[in-house]
Amino acid sequence: MRLSSLSLMLFALTLLPGANGADLTYINDDILPPKVDWQGASLALMREANDPWATPFEQSAGLDSPDYQTTMEWLDKLVAQSPMVQKVSLGKSPQGRDLWMIVASAEGADTPKSLADNGKPTVLVQAGIHSGEIDGKDAGMMLLRDIAMGTKAGLLDGANLLFVPIFSVDAHERSSEFNRVNQRGPKHMGWRTNARNLNLNRDYAKADTLEMQLMLSAINEWQPQLYIDVHVTDGIDYQYDVTFGYNLPQGLSPAIYGWLDSHYRPAVETALSDAGHIPGQLIFALDETDLSKGMSWWRATPRFSNGYGDARHLPTILIENHSLKPFRQRVLGTYVMLEQTLKTVATEATSLKAAIMKDSFHYAQLITLTWEDEIQPQGWDFKGIDYKTETSSISGTKVVRWLGEPKLYPQLPVLGSTKAGIKVSRPAAYFIPPQWQEAIARLHLHGIRMTELKQDTELKLQQYRFDNPVFDTKDFEGRHRVKADSKLEKVSVTLPAGTVKIPTDQPLGDLAIMLLEPQSPDSLLQWGFFNPIFSRTEYMEDYAVEPMAAKMLQDNPGLKAEFDQALLDPAFATDPHARLRWFYERSPYYDNQYLRYPVYRGR
């Protein structure tokens, strides 16, 4: 059990250092690297534990985070006191908990239409997609309090705020002091995966989880102009306490990248620095035991929040607070970032909307599906922490010992996924026959526009033929993934009534391409939505192939020449099954849908 509101307050009163103390500790402090003392200006944002509007986080002096019930009870009290703050349920979790969203606007809007009617840009902030990484929940509660009951109501003059305090609500309640051993607080942390052991931040493209389906529906209904996903890191030690990133410039939303990099990042980094934090871009070391090898400039695919945002042209910020910084410091840094976000979105609303429109209606004729790593021309001055390596007597291998002392690593090399790999031409539309209901339903869920053929229709289209399918050796995120070599061929086909047509000249056309092109890493094909096409269900017995093959060779001299050429391959010539299959595949009995992708491309 987590602490109730009363217990949190009583616990806070027993803390010797008080809300601004520097000696707060966690159960795992002794096994974590040394803690760097921090006394940033943002500490002034916290209220005293006995303040009637102190959040449960503040009541615990910044040590803990409340459970689901306590969180919602506190927010209900705020909603009851302020007409600017409303609460709506996005739906029920698999275990029956409401997935709540707080709607904050100067006008007190409580529906998508009433929010849109005020004409202001909307920011959607979600916390707890990994529920142990819960900083955003407590930061958002403080910020909402200061808007509704404090001096910051003006933040809603130019922007609206949608706030999901707990995304993975069931995992949030699988709470323990012993979750996330690598993280410095809160005292009680939720679980990484949901009740079905699925990772919500691998689920944006395939949308298998009920929680993600509710979130995507909310995005489609409430139409935010900026989406923020709050996490806490794993990995190495460094000086930065708040790191954040978004899509790369070489991608599907270059105008949005430009806005985020030129308007958003400078404003947010200035605000964080002024408040005593050290902001930075997302940090992923190429080798965690040797920082001299450099950093990775990571490109997210559409299974992740920021990769999904790139594909659907929704500006998306991935916050990764540093796990080794104390919980209180991380929460306050998140507060500063969210506050500045509302300010920046309000003042730069016109340029933000222009960037979204430019990317949404660009319709590039060549789409890059995969990206390759290359060394970037500009290195990175990295604000790290000094370390040493030694051979562990426990594991017998080299381990890093972080020393707790700041150290600058100048001009580290950066490896970025900025070199285009597989590209495809943009089709005018895709066609999916009606029997593939699961795939069609997913596209509907994403908000992709489509129409149905009202009658059987003959069309000249393109279709992929697959060879050499390779299935992963084990399930990943509840799916049996598959890859295959593909070749695009022209076909004439009669599509049945009920076939859906998905035009790509729509704002979510690029997302449709990333979900339907088979070589896209997060395509529905690779996630296993079309796995039945890789099963052979009709066969021909050898005793029937033999006489059929003899007749085929007798009647078709060209086929005999082709067969003689194939026999020059020793592997083929010595494989009786391959030789018989060669004839079966060229006969009218062969299954003409085997290894054919049931998604057609229209030019």
What are 433-481's pLDDT values in tens digits? 999 999 999 999 999 999 999 999 999 999 999 999 999 999 999 999 9
Q: What is the mean pLDDT of residues 550-560?
A: 94
Which residues, at least 6 apart from 385, have a Cβ–Cβ distance to it below 8 Å?
A: 33, 36, 237, 238, 239, 402, 403, 404, 405, 406, 407
- pLDDT tens per residue, range 351-401: 999 999 999 999 999 999 999 999 999 999 999 999 999 999 999 999 999
Distance, in Å, from the CA atom of 56 to the CA atom of 15, rounded to the nearest integer, reads 15
How many beta carbons lie within 10 A of that of residue 392, not counting itself? 11
* Active site annotation includes 339: no
User: What's residue 592's pLDDT?
Assistant: 83
Tokens of 246: 């978004």
User: What's residue 455's pLDDT?
Assistant: 98
- pLDDT tens per residue, range 556-584: 999 999 999 999 999 999 999 999 989 98
- pLDDT tens per residue, range 208-221: 999 999 999 999 99
- pLDDT tens per residue, range 2-15: 444 434 433 343 33
Candidates 133, 173, 269, 320; catalytic one: 320
Residue 256, pLDDT above cutoff 70: yes
Distance, in Å, from the CA atom of 329 to the CA atom of 320, rounded to the nearest integer, reads 13
Q: What is the mean pLDDT of residues 137-160?
A: 98
Global pTM exceeds 0.75: yes
Q: What is the mean pLDDT of residues 517-533?
A: 97
User: What's residue 24's pLDDT?
Assistant: 52
The angle that helices 437-445 and 509-516 make with each other, rounded to 10 degrees, is: 150
What is the side-by-side strand order in the sheet with 122-127?
85-92, 98-104, 160-164, 122-127, 226-232, 316-321, 242-245, 279-281
User: What's residue 19's pLDDT?
Assistant: 38
Distance, in Å, from the CA atom of 525 to the CA atom of 432, rounded to the nearest integer, reads 13
Tokens of 165: 């305090």
State the Rg of the chain over Cα.
28
Q: How far is CA 118 from the centre of its chain?
A: 29
Tokens of 363: 């319709």
User: What's residue 584's pLDDT?
Assistant: 87
Residue 45, pLDDT above cutoff 70: yes
User: What's residue 585's pLDDT?
Assistant: 86
372 strand-pairing partners: 419
Tokens of 593: 């849908």
Residue 143, pLDDT above cutoff 60: yes
Mean pLDDT (the chain) is 94
Q: Where are the alpha helices (DSSP H) in 497-555?
A: 509-516, 542-555
